[in-house]
Copies of this chain bind each other. A is one copy, B any other.
Amino acid sequence: MQAALLDRTFHALSDPTRRAMVQRLSRGPASVSELAKPLAISLPAVMQHLQVLEGSGLVRSEKTGRVRTCSVEPKMLTLAEHWIAERRAQWERKLDRLADYLDATASENDNAKEESK
Contacts and interface: CB of A to CB of B under 8 A. Distances in A.
Interface of A: 3, 6-8, 10-11, 13-16, 19, 22-23, 25-28, 72, 74, 77-78, 80-81, 83-85, 87-88, 90-92, 94
Contact of A74 (B6, B15, B88): B88
A5 to B, nearest CB: 11
A6 B77 CA distance: 15
Copies, count: 2
B74 A28 contact: no
Closest 10 CB pairs of A and B: A10-B14, A11-B14, A26-B87, A10-B13, A26-B90, A81-B84, A26-B91, A77-B88, A3-B16, A10-B10
Contacts of A90: 26-27
Nearest to A98: B28
Contacts of A77: 84, 87-88, 91
11 contacts: A6-B13, A6-B19, A7-B14, A10-B11, A13-B83, A27-B94, A74-B88, A78-B88, A80-B84, A81-B81, A81-B88
